[in-house]
Structure 1
Amino acid sequence: MEVIGIKLQKAVLIMMSIVSMSGMSSCEDRLDSPYPSTGGGKTVEVSLSVGIADEDDAARLTGNPVSSKVSGMASGFGFNVSLGSTEITKAISVEFAKPDKLYGLQIVQYKFGSYDTAPIGKIDLSSSDLEIGSSFTGELSDNDGDYCQLLVVARGKNTVGTFTVGSLMGKKLSDIQKDTASVSMIEAITPEAYAANSNVINAMPYVLHLPKVRLVNDGGTYKIQSPDGEDVRILLRRLAVRLTLSWKNKYVSKGYKMNQILLKSIPSVYKIIPTPNENDGYPSLMDQYRTIMLPESAVKDEGSYSCWVPAVVRGKSAKATSDYYRTKENAPKGSAYATFVTQDTSDGKKKLNYRVYLGGPSSHDFDLYDNTNYIYNVMMSHTSLPVDDRRVTIIDPIPASENNGNFVPTSNCFMVAPGGAFCFNPYTYYVNGSSVPNETLQDWCGVSGETLTKPIKSVKVLWQTLEDGDLGDPVLGAVNTYAPLTPDDDHTNIVDLKRGESLADARIYCRVTPNTSGGNGVIAGYSGENGTGDILWSWHVWVTDYAPSSIGSETVLEENRRKLVYKQGSNTRLPMMDRNLGAVAGYDTVPNKELERSKANGLMYQWGRKDPYRSSYTNSVIPDIPVSETIESPMDGLLSCYRGDGITFAMISFDYSTRVSYQTAYQKPEVMYKPGKPDLWSSNRDSTYIYSWGMGGDKGAHDPCPSGWRVCAKEDFYPLYSAWGSGSLNLVGDKNGVNAGGYLISYDDTNRSRGSYYRLPGYWMGNSFGQIGQFGYYWTRDIKGTDLDGHGGYPLRLKSNKTAWEMTVGGYEKEALLIRCIQERAN
């Protein structure tokens, strides 16, 4: 018997065994119930044999060659990582166990190259537990002799009879690409559980996708042949990767003790078959990912840890010419890695962070394949601080207040570049370049003359994003110690407060981590020490390289300073930002990649509030995501936010019955108040509320835009229409809104080739997040004050079918929509 290997879309390794099928039909059993063919061709009887492939040993894999020369790791750094062979553990380890039968076996047949059509054939053996390697016959379509695809899945079954993977019968291949296996059932297959009952391995799914085969008549019974004309016996591959970390921290002798071990950028689900991206990598960078934190009992200076994880295929990096160069800068985006954090026993703020990118035996390889066992041996043997090893970060933080004299105008949003620092007086805000008292906050703080009876006594990181959804580093940074409501909770490396009791001299200091691509966070001032008491006010920190000037009256096209003057006829507006508030990027073309498009989303805001809320984050069109009263863990389709440690998920809550005052709302900036009619969150629709964003006058105290900028008026968007504020959109090109994720809209009637990209990320509507990829709603600062039903907003409404509603009243004020900011003044 000859064994050959083929690839699915260059990345998904699968295996077929070539055997002689002659003489088999006389002893084969027919186990399935026939299904009629639903495609071209006739239904025929097919001879099949399904086995299970042996697991691959990562240390023995051979990587594809790359253009750069591979050199050995530089000596002398004392941080060594090697990929060990699993051969020595083969007789005793769960990673080499196999099920005793094929449980829940299903075979689905599709036309060659088709992902969005119904199956043309199927065999369901779910009711029969098939012996591994046995021969049987079933009915499929001959597809008129043309090539077809076969998906073969042993779905796995646990000890109580539950299948790990749902039924695949009747589904399109594109739908199966969205299907997942039960994470809890796979991860319940532990060495301890296997030692107690070897049948637990039966829950593991085994999968093979044959993208190009044909059914060939062999004496009346059909058999499967490869494109080379070889007969095929199917060898299924284990869905999960087996990952083992083994480490030894010799630097403990210098006082640095192992404190934390994490596995990062791990997919949250096990997809049955991958959906490769344009680089043949998978899963999608816009899927959900998680951090696996090793339990405290496993965090020792010498130890090991094993677990199942989904496959992560990111390809090769020519820049990673040795292990020393397996760094964030050189790793493909989304690569999985482990971090080992050691802590100085005499000064807990001092730490060493060792990053180990996972992958194959070549330094270029950043892939974790299914059906493969990986063992990483990690040794910290340096005798002094590894100052020259870029895989190791030396953490010796200083307070955010130290060496930070960058005093900036106060606003509800601060724009800061990665690695930047600033400070501000929390009791003021700026209007038209001048400082004015924040009378609302001062009133809540009990100001009397220059005295505050309830001052801000502490400041903390409330939440922050990672760089790309669930991937990348926290954009504000990891706080010294995340231990909420305990004396050990220490955020002073990112946010610090000095003289909080002084109305004139109070300062909040902020310093964000360097080397990120940007994102968002919120810091909050508390009435009590160390994050206790009420939140008195909170501020949005927009981490971005974008730095447009807030003065001037001309269009600027330089990428990171781009601002646009909207013109139509004699009507010319002040310059507007080229992106949504909180967006990581703005574009003057339609981005080709969905990940790049997602960077244009920005954050969402209820009308009249300063507090930002998360937006969508997905490459799918999703009409509706129902939400209950809390979101306590990552939810498919929505952007995830994290606490000060960059690991703990930041919960968001919804109150569907209560209207509240500004003070109550601002005490709970992570709560969205969304009662029924009247459809507004505020309990008092008075002048403070109506003019909160400065309608008809100067910028308001509740305006969420950065200093020098403010929420657009409805007239600022009128040049986007063929008529002044009505008619069709002035599109640049005829892009489909769904396919492009938004529109490139012309803003200047003197040059219709120029456009600004407007995203369609959906919005918070009622008790759901809906219309993702179909609608983009943008608040303006205008409101109809006499509309007591809460329908007084004037939003810019964009729809994916290229129609745009005129900018008329009707926006429900409780809903959270996008915002664009425009300059307050020209000079």
Structure 2
Amino acid sequence: MIRLLEYRVYRTTEEPVPFCWKVLFVLFMLGTLLAMVAVCGSCQPEEEDIGNTGVGEGLSATLRLEVMGEEQVDIATRAVSEGVVSNLHILVYNSSGELIGQKYQTGSSTVTVNTRSATGCTIYAIANTGKADLFKGYAIHKESYLKSMVYSLTGWDDPGKGTNLLMTGSMKSVNIRAGVQTLSTRLVLTRMVAKVVLNIKVKESSGITITDYSVKNIPACSYYVARASGDAAQAATAAHWKESGVIATSRATSVNKTFYMFENRRGTKSISAQKDKTTANAPAKATYVVIHGLVGAVTVMWTVYLGENNTSDFNIKRNGNYTYNITLNDIAATDTRVVVDFTGTEDLSSAGTANCYLAKANSWYKFKATVRGNGAATAAGISPTGSVLAMNAPITPNIAELVWETGGHEKIIRVLMLKDGYVYFRTGEVEEGNAVIAVKNTAGIILWSWHIWVTNTNLLESAQTYRTNPRWMDPTLFRNGLVSRTLTMMDRNLGAAVDEASDANTASQAFGLYYQFGRKDPFPSGKIGGGVECIEIYDKVGNLLPMATLKGNTYQKTAAQVPHASVAENIAYTIMNPLIFIVYAVGDADTSVNWLYGASPLNSPPTIWRSSNRLWGGDLNDDMSEYPLGLDSKFIGKTIYDPCPYGWCLPPQDTWTNFTTTENPLGAGTAKDNYVSYSTTNPLYYNSPSSEKRNYDSSTVIFGRHFYVSEIGKGEIAFYPAAGYRYGKGGGIESVGDFCCAWSFAPYSASSTFGGYLYSAKIAVSPNGTSWRMHGFPVRCVKETS
């Protein structure tokens, strides 16, 4: 994102040498000041040959001439009268550079000067100095002395404080004969100063406010007589330079400032990109503007160098009119004209790192970019490197980049950068939404990625208390000794905007995101009324990624297509490709229906399956097939792949055991594995409000189902939306408006390739369901300490 500080420089005329008053009777038309004038060269009048026949040199002569300042069509709109001559010095030098006539007057523009006849004379006019004795003394009798004289400022903006501007002009090669003569050509004066107009505004919806600005390297003096090359009066010493000082703006969103300054011709540089017109590339003492502002709580400084274009030129010439239309955009590390002070930026990782961070709209945040997930020590069997990872084993990213976001381009992540081992980002104006951002190495390979959940929800304040209800814990079949206990659960799915749904719109907002079992990165969910379409997500440049695109070859692969020579290679691929959904290909030799290729307990040894069991921090008490039933799982600790925020993790397998009430829903004599699933199709056993103790017709669209979470038939109620899921075979969206589900951290059992999850549909509730680990299901997190 480098288009983050833009300024446009325009010309005010189509003339090759703009804004210059020639010694012809020319009225210069300034126009509408939509542009900056580029070059103001010195203008030479035609020779004024008054004749000299029969008259010798040095005879008495009286010279009458009319002096005028160049006019502007919009002078009435200016605080300074830019073309008015109020007081005037006339100096006449002969071809030897000796003063032969001099006059100071105020008021009238017609001047009568007593002089002597001579050929090849130069007549100088200096206006609006307000100093009658400016050119007194013997030294002024030499033209060379006049050319060495400078006007010095007291304050940086002195040229614009008076009523009129300093102006100078000259006529060369004038022949003056004896007697009274009137010059037929008027001497037109040009300004000693350049006019600079700053039109500064902020990008719409950027959240930027301007706190102050200042102008640097303003020449403190300038020659009265213009020189063809650089102005030698601008020496390196501090006395020759002024600054505007800090001009406060009270957190404005626009600033318009006009000021006048002496010329500062610093030359050109070989610069082709606007963003590279920086201090590092600028000539010494080039004039520039510093703008300070705030983006939320972050202090930002923009630096804009002046000149005749946006890139290579650093010249401000006398008599020039420069207009700069500057737009302050969002911040990017790649734009070196922008200096950001992130002091005070909220560190989302200060308490601990995670794969998901919560943020609010229009705010600045940072988090550690060198830690994988929660930084947990990682065994070789589930490590992306194939070796043991120590706690907080570092990665070394080079750049941060958006993977996808909801809501539209730059609606969730407005600015993103990597700085000093941290990802810095600014959220957009959308108050509820999701994004995935990644860091890459110098080769452009993703090292890790994080889910940014923009929400106004306080997870702890809205959390709910679940009371589990495990039963049929036959000690001959189970090793976990499960008993009823209390869990602190989120009141909504991970990534959801709302916790309840009453119509199609709010239902989709309650869905959250989909996750494949054991993977850390989310996928967009479906939506009510969207058929097989997912919620709108956009890539880093703002391209919409519809379901047809996400199911294409770029974003969907079969497990066989994914590198899988080892578990580490397989896991590393998912890290490098967080938006690629991995599906099962019918007919493939691997029937594990797991994105981790070959993860089946039937393989001998079942090494890959055991790795898959532990990716989200769960495992079986005993993975031998003689203990085949569900609910015989355990928590071994949150891993680097857990998708929940800091302090939260995937829930255990028995989380939803209170969602049905019968101990033996399938009747006496049925197999024990049916008991432990607690599944039922009988609405009488749904632990739901009475209005939802029913089954629905297959054509009915439901928004979700409510369950009592801590007691039977009363107390606190949780809502689980009918979010459907992403199918692990074809990769499409399925069962939206029918199917409520959520992953646990646990493998289902010692004899199953599947994972344990909550399942509720129109005609059934299964608190301990089992399904393909390839499927993309929602996630609802539990407080880790509970």
Bin the TM-score by the shorter chain: 0.3 to 0.5
Q: Which structure has the greater CA radius of gyration?
A: 2
